[in-house]
């Protein structure tokens, strides 16, 4: 479990009493008891209060806060306060201020406003982390340490440019190797001195977000920027660990956040935490996918849901309320996908500034007689009943989807063949085919062990890193089924094209050669014409966006194109490789095609859903010590009935329920326990 001090699902969230007077704080403590709140994240943005100038620190207010929470039965997730530097620091040491992509130096303001390669920022952020660790190392209230907050952004200052050159020297060692990796003979860009290299920005090689003349250089800047921020995190992490070796340290991630390679970050985090903020129109399958990514970056370990709103956001274009029951429903969805906490931003609504309309457990009215508070208190009571029952249970999956940040960056900087290709959208399409059938999926990285899986899917595997092709060949050779799609096997890790024919290093495994790729206009469509039925997959299906024109080199053709000059050419192939199979999908097929194909392959492998449920009812499973916990989550606006057949279960939230079926209210959640053997 996360902490033996609090042996249950943590329930609480971000709390900022420095914005309020002492009387309000005392009222909050009483309301927290009513709501079942047992943990508060504090000190996230308090650097200016903690350190009013260069030499003085004042933590007395924090002493009183942590003590008063603890005396009320509330534990602390203690942040280091370094998410926004103080104004005095920006005034005296302007190197802490970021420079934007257009070369403009920022002034003090906002947050995430510190240059990650600023010596000043690194010095003082490490110092305050050390002082906090020394002061609170023995405090019984502290259960988690929280470094900074939602790292992100980028910087193009002189410090970053110098640091980029150092990073490049470590990566490539020689300028000859760098010039080769970046193909600098193109446009006469050959470098003869490290100091000739400048950051790729709107002043040099780039324009806008994903447009660049030199993909290899821009890709390396993305890697460098992620690594620079990770170094800042690591400095604070090490400062705390030096003083509190047993400290459990995290920082809150943000799901599919493009600027940071979370697989690399996860290796330096004791436990993953992340902030979940879907909109009213976000597909629930996408939210589930994000949870599974956050679980996957730490090899399936349970994670902390650090933030969600109990009611509404403030920063989206349309900040809709969560409908009655949805807060509870989405909270249990997080638990179903691996969370061992349910936490909110925020516990009390701010009175001013940009988050004053962000939802909170305690609304501006300041009392408990609100819909949101009643729902929050009800969930808090349920979590008390559940106790430690679900803690440390795991999710067992036979299906894995491969995800890689380098691949994401490279695809969307690729300068063709189409602006319509979005990596995460493709990942979601294939994930949804399993989600809709209640087949559990792990999201894994290129370094992950694949031996436990029956089926591995790598949509748009554009970049094939060293050793990955061999790993996929071994997986398939041993009996696994591998699936990939159009625009795969194109480049290596420096974004240089794999010469000798696409799909490069995957060519032998897939048994095909891709000669050309056609980019269709948004209004254009082609057809996937099945040659023979594959289960329920039969007839014609629409496809579009990209169409690979391929030739077989041993693979079996299962479907062909129905239109254009490449009518009759293969669009779906299957290659026997050792004891397994490798499938190639040469175009972006419609949902019915992807669903049908994934169902056929899963059925072939004997991969079964957790339960069969009506549309809109999600079924997930966590497992511990021979017991399974089945989550039934009704995302519909009306009640639904799930057949349990001969499954002998106990309803953890309603022990009086028995029977071979169960009715789940609109937007309701049920957790069942039953014996389990894998």
Task: Catalytic residue, from 307, 375, 505, 618: name it.
Answer: 307
Output the DSSP codes for 218-262.
HHHHHHHHHHHHHHHHHHHHHHHHHH-TT--EE-EE-SS-TTS-H
Buried residues in 285-312 as b, exposed as e (16+ CB within 10 A):
bbbbbbbbbbbbbbebbbbbbbbbbbbb
Q: Are 130 and 77 in contact (CB under 8 A)?
A: no
113: closest CA among 138, 93, 129?
93
- Concatenating the DSSP letter of every residue in 277-334 gives ---TTS-HHHHHHHHHHHHHTTTT--BEEEE--SS--SSSSS-PPPPTTHHHHHHHHH
Respond yes or no: is residue 173 known to be catalytic.
Answer: no
Are the beta carbons of 275 and 254 closer than 8 angstroms?
A: yes
Strand partners, 634: 617
| Rg of the chain over all Cα atoms, to the nearest angstrom | 26
Three-state DSSP at 175 gives helix
Other CB atoms within 10 A of residue 187 CB: 10
* Bridge partner residues of 362 (DSSP): 348
Spatial CA neighbour of 471 closest among 442, 441, 446, 502: 446
As a dihedral over the C-alpha atoms of residue 182, residue 183, residue 188, residue 189, rounded to 10 degrees, the angle is 10
* Residue 150 annotated in active site: yes
Helix, strand, coil shares, percent, the chain, to 5? 30, 20, 45
363-397 b/e with 16+ CB inside 10 Å = b?
beeeebebebbebbbebbebbeebeeebbebebeb
Q: In what order do the strands lie in the sheet with 304-307?
A: 252-253, 273-275, 304-307
Which residues does 519 contact at the CB level (< 8 Å), separation at least 6? Answer: 416, 417, 418, 545, 546
Q: Which residues are catalytically annotated?
A: 150, 307
């Amino acid at each position: 479990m996360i902490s033996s001090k609090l042996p249950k699902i943590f329930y609480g969230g971000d709390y900022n009493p420095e914005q309020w007077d002492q009387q309000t704080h005392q009222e909050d403590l009483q309301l927290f008891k009513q709501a079942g709140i047992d943990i508060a994240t504090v000190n996230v943005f308090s650097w200016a209060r903690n350190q009013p100038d260069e030499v003085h620190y004042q933590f007395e207010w924090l002493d009183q806060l942590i003590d008063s929470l603890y005396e009320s039965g509330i534990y602390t997730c203690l942040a280091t306060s370094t998410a926004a530097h103080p104004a005095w620091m920006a005034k005296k040491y302007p190197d802490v201020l970021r420079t934007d992509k257009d070369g403009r130096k920022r002034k003090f303001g906002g947050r995430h406003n510190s240059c990650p390669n600023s010596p000043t920022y690194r010095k003082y952020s490490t110092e305050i982390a050390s002082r906090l660790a020394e002061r609170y190392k023995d405090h019984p209230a502290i259960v988690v340490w929280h470094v900074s907050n939602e790292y992100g952004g980028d910087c193009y200052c002189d410090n970053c440019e110098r640091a980029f050159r150092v990073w490049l020297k470590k990566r490539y060692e020689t300028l000859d190797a760098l010039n080769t990796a970046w193909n600098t003979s193109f446009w006469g860009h050959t470098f003869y001195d490290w100091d000739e290299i400048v950051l790729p920005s709107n002043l040099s090689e780039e324009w806008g977000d994903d447009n660049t003349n030199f993909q290899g250089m821009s890709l390396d800047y993305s890697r460098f920027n992620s690594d620079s921020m990770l170094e800042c995190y690591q400095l604070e992490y090490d400062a705390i660990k030096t003083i509190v070796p047993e400290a459990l340290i995290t920082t809150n991630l943000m799901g599919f956040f493009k600027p940071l390679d979370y697989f690399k970050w996860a290796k330096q985090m004791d436990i993953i935490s992340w902030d979940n903020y879907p909109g009213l129109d976000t597909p629930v399958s996408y939210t589930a996918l994000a949870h599974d990514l956050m679980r996957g970056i730490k090899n399936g370990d349970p994670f902390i849901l650090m933030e969600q709103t109990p009611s509404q956001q403030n920063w989206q274009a349309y900040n809709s309320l969560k409908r009655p029951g949805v807060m509870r429903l989405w909270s249990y969805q997080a638990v179903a996908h691996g969370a061992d906490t349910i936490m909110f931003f925020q516990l009390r609504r701010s009175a001013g500034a940009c988050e004053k309309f962000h939802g909170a457990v305690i609304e501006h009215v300041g009392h408990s007689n609100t819909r949101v508070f009643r729902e929050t208190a009800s969930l808090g009571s349920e979590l008390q009943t559940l106790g430690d029952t679900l803690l440390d249970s795991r999710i067992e999956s036979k299906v894995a989807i491969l995800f890689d940040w380098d691949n994401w960056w490279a695809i969307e900087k690729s300068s063709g063949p189409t602006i319509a290709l979005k990596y995460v959208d493709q990942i979601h399409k294939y994930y949804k085919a399993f989600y809709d059938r209640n087949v559990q999926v792990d999201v894994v990285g290129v370094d992950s062990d694949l031996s436990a899986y029956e089926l591995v899917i790598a949509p748009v595997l554009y970049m094939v890193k060293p050793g990955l092709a061999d790993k996929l060949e071994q997986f398939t050779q041993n009996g696994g089924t591998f699936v990939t799609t159009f625009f795969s096997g194109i480049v290596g890790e420096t974004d240089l094209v794999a010469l000798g024919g696409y799909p490069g290093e995957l060519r032998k495994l897939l048994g095909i050669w891709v000669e050309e790729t056609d980019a269709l206009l948004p209004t254009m469509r082609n057809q996937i014409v099945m040659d023979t039925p594959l289960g329920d997959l039969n007839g014609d299906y629409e496809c579009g966006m990209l169409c690979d024109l391929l030739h077989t080199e041993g693979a079996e053709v299962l479907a062909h194109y129905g239109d254009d000059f490449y009518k009759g050419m293969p669009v779906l192939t299957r290659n026997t490789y050792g004891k397994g199979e490798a499938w190639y999908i040469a175009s972006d097929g419609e949902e019915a095609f992807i669903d049908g194909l994934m169902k056929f392959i899963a059925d072939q492998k004997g991969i079964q859903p957790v339960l069969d449920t009506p549309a809109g009812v999600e079924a997930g499973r966590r497992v511990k010590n021979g017991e399974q916990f089945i989550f039934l989550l009704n995302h519909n606006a009306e009640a639904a009935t799930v057949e349990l057949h001969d499954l002998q279960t106990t309803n953890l939230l309603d022990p009086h329920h028995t029977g071979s079926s169960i009715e789940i209210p609109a937007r309701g959640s049920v957790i069942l326990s039953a014996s389990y053997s894998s």
